[in-house]
A and B are shown apart, each in its own frame.
Chain A
Amino acid sequence: MGAGHHHRLHRPGDTLVHRLPPQCKLAAVAGFALVVVATPREWFWAFGLYAVLLAAVAVAARVPAGFLLRRMVVEVPFVVFALAIPFIGIGERVTFMGLSLSVAGLWAAWNILAKATLGVVASVLLAATTEPRLILLGAQRLRLPPMLVQIAMFMLRYLDVILEEMRRMRVARESRGFVARDVRHIPVIARSAGALFIRSYERGERVHLAMLSRGYTGSMPVIQDLSAASRQWLVAGMLPGAALAVLLGSWGVA
């Protein structure tokens, strides 16, 4: 976390994947992630097939590989951790190129890397093909509490405003020659955080009053028709369905 959050998430387009109703896509991604996590780590080729499935979705949605790779930067801290496991793991050890590695650690590292990467790519594809607002409306249709969805919507709408506010404060600090070097500089950063909180909270109060004066009664009106045809559910179900088929198929073989 911390870095890599400033990419544009959504890639507008008009493909089959883009047109699917958001609730179908959400359910598909969640189902796919579950199937991936439930797959035993010994079945290498099953993970290969999952990757092929995701690649097929990416091609259908015309999401270029470079975009996917750039968005996968968030995974880096855990890749580092996963690569460290074979060295600090316990149990039986093997020697590879002069390095003593734990066998169980290698398995665990592979397990985390494979599953986390597939999960990240699936999430990135979802975010790339669906407008953030629509993802949340889809979540609401999937019976997520409306209050939670509304909070998330406000958060997304105002995130850029708050981040810009923070960026301006940073520019102001740095243009006065401030660089956070050690612990003694923490109060300066903390005062920025305090000012940011007051500005956010007061903005929230103004927004609330503005909403009240426009007739807000506790829920946001949804003006789009988000109902999904059974055919669309079928199309969206192809990703987790195919993954489940792979899982059950390899279970039958193994």
Chain B
Amino acid sequence: MHVPDGFFNAAVSLSAGVVAAAGVAVCLRGARRELDDRTAPMAGLVAAFVFAVQMLNFPVAAGTSGHLLGGALAAILVGPYTAVLCVAVVLLVQGFFFADGGLTALGVNITLMGVVAVLVGWGVFRLITRSLRGRGAVVAASFVAALVSVPATALAFTLLFWLGGTAPVEIGTVAAAMGGVHLLIGIGEGLITAVTVSTVLAIRPDLVYGARELAAPLVLRGAGGDVTVTSESPAPTAPVAARRPGWFLPAGIAVAALLAGVVSFYASSSPDGLERVAEDKGFSGQAADHSLGEQPLADYGDVGGIPVGVAGLIGVGVTLAVGGGLFFTVRRRDEGSGRGEDSGRKVSV
């Protein structure tokens, strides 16, 4: 699903770039909570793992095979912030070193496969594990989270395509094709994610970030029969600092709404999917005619008297200013607060 250069118009590429920059900036701060000062080496190795896992092809149905996106898997194993960072780094490296995915489409790619896939996957996972507890629930939640994250990413792609794709393809066709294929891939992704998580749970349960609440409290029994229960979880890998659930709840609600929409779409369109799309073509064809027929001209011709090159350059400047400013403030704050934490932690290590 790596989008190349020239696939989306300038406006969508730039706005997606801003979203991606903001998302990565937020995650740079959040990842410190998940990994503390081990962020760089751990996230680097997890990124390498995500890269490797993306090369695992699995058979979906006769003849076709898909490969993991890995967003939901990474979120459940190492936490959502680190997962977004890892996927973003994987995409960055793929774009610059392997020419996989365009450089101007980097924002789109990070937004789709990093932010959307991880956010949806983690949101679904949290929703389920909040109401159900236990190992089985974690594994089942992994399955559903990964299953949903893939078509959600595909639908986000469709949405962006509708906003500013450069190809004159009907939006209904794109949604049906992308959604259908990725629902299949999502089943594979869900199966692999669930079994992978259950394997890790069986061997090193402390490594599964999404299951850190399952860890039993440490019970110390003294010789005199006194029992001390430490309230703090003994997990050495993930610091169980008081995590603010804050924005996960709204995100979860949004995901639930999306899920409801998506699922009902599939449920209603499956018996007469083709007819439905064909019917829609009549009415959506006109809408598409309007938005897509004029879009390329509007985008590439003069917009309000400003030549496209200049508009592009202004947009790039704005993006750089916004993204750079975000990174700069985040970095400053991290450096400022990071020092004290580092020296404090070093003693304990």
Closest Cβ–Cβ distance, residue A37 to chain B (whole Å): 5
Contact A108 B55, beta carbon cutoff 8 Å: no
Q: A151-B89, A152-B92 are in contact. Are A33 and B104 (CB under 8 A)?
A: yes
Q: A58 in the interface, Cβ–Cβ < 8 Å?
A: no
Contact B200 A152, beta carbon cutoff 8 Å: no
| B7 CB contacts on chain A under 8 angstroms | 78, 112, 116
Q: B42 in the interface, Cβ–Cβ < 8 Å?
A: yes
| B25 CB contacts on chain A under 8 angstroms | 145
Binds B, one of A13-21, A204-212, A227-235: A204-212
Chain A minimum-CB-distance residue to B55: A2
Q: A182 in the interface, Cβ–Cβ < 8 Å?
A: yes
Q: Which A83-131 residues sit within 8 Å CB-CB of chain B?
A: 85, 88-91, 102, 104-105, 107-109, 111-112, 114-116, 118-120, 122-124, 126-127
Which of B2, B41, B204 has its CB near the most chain A CB atoms (within 10 A)?
B41
| A5 CB contacts on chain B under 8 angstroms | 55, 98, 100
- Interface size classification for chain A: 35 or more
Q: A40-B308, A120-B4, A211-B41 are in contact. Are A198 and B204 (CB under 8 A)?
A: yes
| B256 CB contacts on chain A under 8 angstroms | none
Chain A proximity mask over B301-318: 1 for CB below 8 Å, otherwise 0? 100000111001100100
Closest Cβ–Cβ distance, residue B335 to chain A (whole Å): 9
Binds A, one of B118-126, B162-170, B260-268: B162-170
Question: Once bound together, how far apart are the Cα atoms of A42 and B49, in whole Å?
Answer: 43
Q: A91-B293, A143-B328, A200-B46 are in contact. Are A151 and B200 (CB under 8 A)?
A: no
Binds A, one of B32-40, B215-223, B247-255, B271-279: B32-40
| A211 CB contacts on chain B under 8 angstroms | 41
Contact B39 A151, beta carbon cutoff 8 Å: yes
Q: A34 in the interface, Cβ–Cβ < 8 Å?
A: yes
Chain B minimum-CB-distance residue to A38: B312
Contact B99 A112, beta carbon cutoff 8 Å: no
Closest Cβ–Cβ distance, residue A69 to chain B (whole Å): 12
Query: Which of A159, A181, A251 is the one whose CB lies under 8 Å from B309?
Result: A251
| A85 CB contacts on chain B under 8 angstroms | 167-169
Q: A226 in the interface, Cβ–Cβ < 8 Å?
A: no
Closest Cβ–Cβ distance, residue B175 to chain A (whole Å): 13
Contact A145 B331, beta carbon cutoff 8 Å: yes
Chain B proximity mask over A22-66: 1 for CB below 8 Å, otherwise 0? 000010011001111110111000000000000000000000000
Query: Which of A114, A144, A194 is the one whose CB lies under 8 Å from B195?
Result: A194
Chain A proximity mask over B321-343: 1 for CB below 8 Å, otherwise 0? 00010011011001000100010
Among all A-B residue pairs, the 9 with the closest Cβ atoms:
A154-B44, A115-B6, A194-B199, A190-B195, A119-B5, A116-B4, A204-B45, A104-B168, A123-B99
Q: CB within 8 Å of B: which residues of A?
A: 1-2, 4-5, 9, 26, 29-30, 33-38, 40-42, 71-72, 74-75, 78, 85, 88-91, 102, 104-105, 107-109, 111-112, 114-116, 118-120, 122-124, 126-127, 132, 135, 143-148, 150-159, 161-163, 165-166, 180-183, 185-187, 189-198, 200-201, 203-205, 207-209, 211-212, 217-218, 244, 247-248, 251
Sample (30) of A-B pairs whose CB atoms are under 8 Å apart: A9-B97, A33-B102, A37-B13, A37-B312, A38-B10, A40-B301, A41-B300, A71-B99, A116-B6, A143-B327, A147-B28, A151-B43, A151-B44, A151-B86, A154-B40, A159-B51, A163-B55, A186-B58, A186-B195, A189-B192, A190-B196, A193-B192, A196-B52, A197-B196, A198-B200, A198-B203, A201-B49, A204-B44, A207-B41, A217-B342
A112-B7, A143-B328 given; 7 more Cβ-contact pairs under 8 Å: A5-B100, A85-B169, A104-B168, A116-B7, A152-B93, A155-B45, A156-B93
Q: CB within 8 Å of A: which residues of B?
A: 2, 4-7, 10, 13, 24-25, 28, 31, 37-49, 51-62, 67-68, 73, 77, 85-86, 88-90, 92-100, 102-104, 166-170, 173, 188, 191-200, 203-204, 207, 237, 285, 288-289, 292-293, 296, 300-301, 307-309, 312-313, 316, 324, 327-328, 330-331, 334, 338, 342, 346, 349
